[in-house]
Chain A
C-alpha cells in the first residue's frame, strides 16, 4: 500500500511550473463556473451542456483556422458570437420550455444536449485531438527571474482574470446588471417595470455560453482540441460551483482560481492525488459548511425539489405472472447474454428508481455504486478466489458502504446541488479506478472466473447462468418492492412529497435519505456484481459518468416512480445499444434526443404516458390514469 504513496516536495522551478499549470486550469474553471453561475442566477438552469459548448468553442476556432484561414485573434471575437448565437436557437426552441418546471428538468435537458453535441463531434472527429497552433505573437517565454513564463500562458492568465473581473463589474455595478439581478429576484415585477425579461434571459444564456466558447478558444492552443475536452472539465467545474456557491459571481471566480492552484500544488507534491483533490475539497467543505464557501446558509429546510413521478406501489398479479413466464422462456427466443445484461441493468434501474422515484433524491453519480461494486466483486473472485455467491455478497456490501459514504455527504445538500455532489463523488471514484493498483487502469479487471455457485452449480453453462441471473434479479426486485411498500417506504414518500412538513411531524428526514442511499447502493451493487459474473469483467465504463446518465435515461424512459417501468426502460436501452452498435457515437446522439423528448413531452415515461393515454393501461398497471397529471399540477403549485 505504502509504496504507492510517494510524497516528494519539489522546489524552485518545478514547483512554480506546476503552480502555473494549476493557475491556468483555474482560469478555465473560473471562466466556466462564472458562465454557469450567470445562467443559473437568471434562468435557474443548470447548464450541463456548458462543457460541450466550451468544446464547441475550441473546435470552432480550429475550424476557422483550418477551413477559412481565420487566425486566433479574430477567433477570440468571432467564436463567442457564433457559439453564443447558436445557443440562442437552443434557448428559444428547447431550454425556454423548462423555466416553469423544476430545476432538475433543465439539468436533464441540457444533459441530453451534451450527449447530442458530444456524439456529433465524436462521430465527425473521433476521440483524437486536433492540434491548434499558438498565435505567433505569443510564442516564446519570458524570464521572470525565478522561472520562465511561456508568453501564451501569461496571456491566458491576464486575459481570463480581466474577463472575469469585467463580467463581475458588469453584473454587480451596471444598469444592465441591476436589471438582471432584479429579474432574478422577481421576473414578473421587473417585466412590469418595462424590462423585456424573455429577451434578457435569452441574451443571458447566450452570454454565459459565449463565455464558455471564449474559454474554449483560449484553451485550444494549450490542450488538444478534442470532443472529450468538455466532459472532462465540466464535472470538476460542478465541484467548483458546489464549493463556491452557485449564487455568487465573485465566489465562482475566486474558487475557480483557488482550486486550480490547489490542484497544481497537489500535482507538485503528490501527483496521483491531483485529479482527486478538488473533489476531496468539495467533500470536506460540504461536511464543514454545507452551504458552500460563499453561499448563504439555508435556515429553512427546503422541500426536496426534484423530478416528481407517481411513486406508485401497485403491481398487477396477472401482468407479473405473464412477465415471469416470458422471462422463463425468453432464452429460447432471444440471445441469453443480452437478456442477462438487461436484467443486471434492470436491477441498477430499480436502484435509481428507489432513490429518485421514491426518495426524491436526484443522484447523478449513481454508477459509483454499480461500478464500485463490480470492481470489488471482480477482485474478490479473481484475486482472492471467492466463490460467486461470496463475490456477489462482497459487491452488495460495497454498494451499501458506498451508499453510507456518498449518501452522508450528499444529503447535506438538496435538489440540483445533490445532483452535482453525487456526480462529483462518482467522478472521484472514477479517478481512483483509473489510478489505483488493483483496478487494472484502462484494462480493468478481466477474465474473472465464473466458478461454481454454492459449489455445485456450474455457471459456465449459459442456460444455467441465465436462470441464476434471473433468480438474482427476482430477489433484488422483490426486495425493491418490499422496501417501497414497507412502513419505511411510506415515510420516504411523505418526505419526498413535503420535507419541511415531515420534519415538523417528527421525522429525522436525513436518516431516511441516508438509508435510501444505502439500500439503493446495495441494490445497484447486486446488479454490478452480477454483471461481473455474466461478462467476467469490471472496467472503467462501469464507473464512467456516462453510465450514470444511462441509468437515468432507463428510468425516465420507463417511467419514474412506477414499479415495472424502469425494467422496461432498461430492456429498451440495452436493446437499442445492442442493435445500433454499428452506428458508434450516433447512439449517444439518439440517447440525447430521447432525453430531450422525455423532458419536453413525456415527463411520465413510457409506462406513465401509455397509462395516461390508454384507459386500459389503468387496469394493466393498477394506476388511475389522471393521477400523474394532477400531481404535476400540484407540485407546480407548491413551487409558487
Chain B
C-alpha cells in the first residue's frame, strides 16, 4: 500500500518441474532499510533471489520495484533502473585490472559502450569516479593489479564497488559473507552499513550474527514459503522459526 515499499512481490511462485522452490511469497521491502532473508538450507532463498534479479522468470506472481511492474523485464534492464545484485561467488572480471573492473561497471550505464569506433581514451573521464568508488571500498592501493590477484575478501569489496557504481536504489546481496574470514566479515559489515545510508539493501545471508547485527527487518523462509517476518528480536523468539532451524546449527 504505502509508498515507502521499494520492492513488493505478490504471490511469487517458482516451480522446477514438480518441485516448488518458491511458494506464494509476498515480500515487502521498506525503502531505506537493510532487509535480510534467512532460512535453513534449501529454503528457497537463492531461488527467490534469482527471481528478484530476473535471472529466471517466475511461474506465477508479480514483482513491483519502485512502483513499476518488473515481472516481465530482462535482467540487464532491471539493472539499469536501479536494482543491482551481487553474487555468492565473487563475481569479478578476473583478468581486467581492479580499475577496469569498476570502469566497465560505470560504462554499463551508458550506451557509449557500443562505440567501437571511438578511442579508449574517452573512458578516462570516468577515472575520477572510479577512484572515488575504489576509495569507498578501500581498494585504492590495488587499482592497477589484475583483479584475479586480490585476496578473497578484497574481491568481495571489488564486487561491491562495481555494484554500487551503477548507483542502485536497491542493492541485492547474495550471501555477502560467504567464505570470508572473521576480519573480512567485520570489514564488509561496516561497508554494508555505510552503503545503507543512502540506499535500500536486501540480502540473503547465512551468518545469523551478521544478520542480527545489520538488519532492520528479517524474512524467514522455509520450504519455499514465508515462515515469519519481523525484527531479529521478534523472529528469533518464535517457536516455529526455532523449530525450522533445529539440527541446522548455523554459524552464529
Report the Cα distance A299→B57, complex, angstroms. Answer: 8
Stretch at the interface among A83-91, A191-199, A283-291, A627-635: A627-635
Contact, CB under 8 Å: A504 / B85:
yes
Q: Is A102 an interface residue (CB 8 A)?
A: no
Across the interface, name the chain A residue whose C-beta is closest to B85: A504
Q: Is B115 an interface residue (CB 8 A)?
A: yes
B100 in complex: contacting residue of A490, A501, A519, A634, CB < 8 Å: A490
Minimum C-beta distance from B18 to chain A (A): 14
Report the Cα distance A493→B100, complex, angstroms. Answer: 10
Report the Cα distance A491→B96, complex, angstroms. Answer: 11
- Max chain A C-beta neighbours (<10 A), residue from B53, B120, B123, B149: B120
Q: Is the interface of A mostly helix, strand, loop or mixed?
A: helix
Contact, CB under 8 Å: B79 / A494:
no
Contact, CB under 8 Å: B114 / A506:
no
Contact, CB under 8 Å: A490 / B123:
yes
Q: Which residues of A contact B118 (CB under 8 A)?
A: 486-488
Contact, CB under 8 Å: A490 / B120:
yes
| Contact A505:B119 (CB < 8 A) given known A494-B93, A498-B93, A634-B95 | no
Q: Is A500 an interface residue (CB 8 A)?
A: yes
Minimum C-beta distance from A399 to chain B (A): 15
Task: List A488-520 residues whose CB lies under 8 Å from chain B.
Answer: 488-491, 493-494, 497-498, 500-509, 511-512, 515, 519
Contact, CB under 8 Å: A501 / B148:
no
Report the Cα distance A93→B118, complex, angstroms. Answer: 48
Contact, CB under 8 Å: B115 / A488:
yes
Q: Which residues of A contact B91 (CB under 8 A)?
A: 498, 500-501, 504
Interface residues on B, range: 35 or more
Stretch at the interface among B28-36, B102-110, B179-187, B232-240: B102-110
B119 in complex: contacting residue of A482, A498, A501, A519, CB < 8 Å: A482
Contact, CB under 8 Å: A497 / B84:
no
Contact, CB under 8 Å: A490 / B94:
no
Q: Which residues of B contact A5 (CB under 8 A)?
A: none
Contact, CB under 8 Å: B94 / A497:
yes
Q: Interface 1/0s, chain B 132-148, versus A by CB < 8 A?
A: 00000000000000101
| Contact A506:B116 (CB < 8 A) given known A497-B94, A498-B94 | no
B107 in complex: contacting residue of A311, A487, A508, CB < 8 Å: A487
Q: Is B193 an interface residue (CB 8 A)?
A: no
Q: Is B92 an interface residue (CB 8 A)?
A: yes
Q: Interface 1/0s, chain A 39-69, versus B by CB < 8 A?
A: 0000000000000000000000000000000
Report the Cα distance A484→B114, complex, angstroms. Answer: 12
Minimum C-beta distance from A358 to chain B (A): 11
Q: Which residues of A contact B101 (CB under 8 A)?
A: 494
Task: List A112-167 residues whose CB lies under 8 Å from chain B.
Answer: none
Report the Cα distance A498→B56, complex, angstroms. Answer: 18
Task: List A251-302 residues whose CB lies under 8 Å from chain B.
Answer: 299-301
Q: Is A483 an interface residue (CB 8 A)?
A: yes
Contact, CB under 8 Å: B148 / A631:
yes
Q: Is B2 an interface residue (CB 8 A)?
A: no
Report the Cα distance A484→B107, complex, angstroms. Answer: 15
Report the Cα distance A574→B165, complex, angstroms. Answer: 47
Report the Cα distance A500→B91, complex, angstroms. Answer: 8
Minimum C-beta distance from A289 to chain B (A): 16
Contact, CB under 8 Å: B94 / A505:
no
Contact, CB under 8 Å: B146 / A505:
no
Q: Is A638 an interface residue (CB 8 A)?
A: yes
Q: Which residues of B contact A501 (CB under 8 A)?
A: 87, 91-93, 162
15 pairs of residues in contact across A and B, judged by CB atoms under 8 Å: A311-B95, A486-B119, A487-B113, A488-B114, A488-B118, A494-B96, A497-B93, A497-B96, A501-B87, A503-B79, A506-B76, A507-B113, A630-B149, A631-B94, A634-B148
Top-6 shortest CB links A-B: A488-B116, A299-B56, A506-B79, A497-B93, A501-B91, A506-B108
